[in-house]
Amino acid sequence: MNIVETAAGNPAFSTLVTALTAANLTSALGGTGPFTVFAPSNDAFAKLPKGTVEDLVLPANKDKLVAILKLHVVSGKHMASEFTGKTAEIATLGGEKVTVTGKDGSVHVGKAKVSSADLGASNGVIHVIDTVMMPA
């Protein structure tokens, strides 16, 4: 299963799948890749101010939603072990860079913590994060 199919098959990603669909990114992330997705869980989306997700999935806000979602995707397949004991800046599909830090047995992407790492997919890998990252 590719990244989109893997996410769609996991109830913890229902909000992410809704957002990917609204942003018309399911085809891109279902493509060849490889991709690394720092995937916010439903709990991460629930931390946003009330009404934010509902507002973002409106057609009028598609560009903003795309920018947010592309901040969570990088080219290549990056396993969590690559970041053990180091910090790296990685360019996202949206053009911004995110800082990935691995220390004390955990991995952080910006201010988000990876809560579950290395969920394999046919076209990359998913790392579950506890916070939705926002563009600068």
Per-residue pLDDT, 136 = 78
Would 135 be classed as within a structural domain?
no
Q: Is residue 136 part of a domain?
A: no
What's the pLDDT score for residue 104? 86
We report the CATH number of the domain holding residue 88 as 2.30.180.10
Residue 102 domain-assigned (yes or no): yes
Supply the range of the domain harboring residue 40: 3-129
Give tens-digit pLDDT for 58-74: 999 999 999 999 999 99
Number of domains in the chain: 1
Task: Report which DSSP code applies to 30.
Answer: T
Q: What is the mean pLDDT of residues 63-91?
A: 94
Mean pLDDT of the chain: 94
What is the average per-residue pLDDT within 76-89? Answer: 93
Q: Is residue 134 part of a domain?
A: no
Q: Give 100-127 pLDDT, tens digit per residue.
A: 999 888 999 999 999 999 999 999 999 9
pLDDT digits (tens, 9 = 90+) for 32-57: 889 999 999 999 999 999 999 999 99
